[in-house]
Amino acid sequence: MAVNPLPWRRERRRHARGMPAWGMSQQDSRDNLVPASLFGSIDRQWALAGADGTGVRVCVLDSGVDGDHPLVAPVEQAWEVVTEEGRSPRISECEPRDPAGHGTACAGIIRELAPRVSISSVKVLTDGRSGSGGALIAGLAHAIDQGFDIINMSLSTSRLEYRNRLSELCDRAYFRRCTLVVAAHNLPIQSFPWNFASVISVASHTEPDPQRIYYNATPPVEFCARGVRVPVASPGGGTTRNTGNSFAAPHVAGIAALALSKHPWLTPFQLKSVLYHCAANVSTEGNEGGVHVAPVA
């Protein structure tokens, strides 16, 4: 058995049946211990202790958000992308509503983790699963221009014609100190913008702790959070359990909101580094020997 000292050079893990793609199993999380020797003083206590999300503005770019749901309310602002045949998509203010429930589920996770955060919504999806690339681009551009601290995107597109424009928008967000937290696709295919370096990409792990995140040393996904049988807000004011990377991303968005509320001067790249040091598999112990990895054949 040979030891590979660079886990990010490994072959991509195979897709585990019954789990969203790009995710991390319990065995993976135990075997991917990585060092934090350069910044040993940054840990969960430094990053998150005492934080509740106060002062942080989060936008959920999704199917809308139900502003009356008890696990979500209040919703500060709500917009929707209006598409008309032969015309460019336009942004319109609207009531905070969600005909599909997908955005509400994501917003509820963020609210649970960061109860004092300000949540707004941009509706770009119709039935919770589909929408046009033009609507996605228009909605994202609007959210960035509104100056949100964090935008949660539990969606992506596999259409190559939208890649360059999405890349430009993600770069714009990055330089405006707007952190994009984006769910990886649930299938082992390429889509955008979760695999851009300018965003924080998230897939699922199988553990039930909503505050437990893992750093993934084998790109393209960078972090894994709870995404299997997650209790989420559902239409009508209730709850249900759902599985998918869609529900892993808002866990990271909520934790990021906590860090920003305590350390508001963090830039997106600094915030990503702080999340790295909050990951359960990043350790300051025993780093002298280098990266701790499981042996591979």
Residue 296 has pLDDT above 50, yes or no: no
Encode pLDDT of 147-171 as tens digits: 999 999 999 999 999 999 999 999 9
pLDDT at residue number 30 = 60
* Residue among 198, 189, 151 at smallest CA distance from 170: 198
Show the tokens assigned to 177: 């100190």
State the catalytic residue, choosing from 185, 246, 261, 292.
246
Residue 1 has pLDDT above 50, yes or no: no
Is 88 catalytic? The answer is no
Encode pLDDT of 109-139 as tens digits: 999 999 999 999 999 997 656 778 899 999 9
Strand blocks (E) in the chain:
34-35, 57-62, 75-82, 90-93, 118-123, 150-153, 179-183, 200-205, 214-215, 223-226, 230-234, 238-242, 282-283
What confidence tier does 40 reach under pLDDT thresholds 50, 70, 90?
low
In the chain, where the domains are located: 7-289
pLDDT at residue number 196 = 96
Encode pLDDT of 74-96 as tens digits: 999 999 999 877 788 899 999 99
Is 171 catalytic? The answer is no
Show the tokens assigned to 293: 């990895």
Is 292 catalytic? The answer is no
Q: How far apart are CA 291 and CA 62, in angstroms?
A: 38
Percent of the chain past pLDDT 70, that is, above it, reads 83
State the catalytic residue, choosing from 28, 62, 66, 149.
62
CATH assignment of 7-289? 3.40.50.200
Q: Could you tell me which residue, 16 or 44, shows the higher pLDDT?
A: 44
Helix (H, G, I), strand (E, B) or coil at 289: helix
Q: How far apart are CA 270 and CA 75, in angstroms?
A: 28
Encode pLDDT of 179-190 as tens digits: 999 999 999 999
Q: What is the pTM of this model?
A: 0.84
pLDDT at residue number 293 = 34
Residue 244 has pLDDT above 90, yes or no: yes
Residue 288 has pLDDT above 50, yes or no: no
State the catalytic residue, choosing from 69, 102, 142, 205.
102
Report the chain's mean pLDDT, rounded to a whole number: 87
What confidence tier does 285 reach under pLDDT thresholds 50, 70, 90?
low
Q: How far apart are CA 274 and CA 61, in angstroms?
A: 24
pLDDT at residue number 295 = 31
pLDDT at residue number 127 = 67
Q: Give CA 130 to chain center in angstroms.
A: 19
Q: How far apart are CA 133 and CA 137, in angstroms?
A: 6
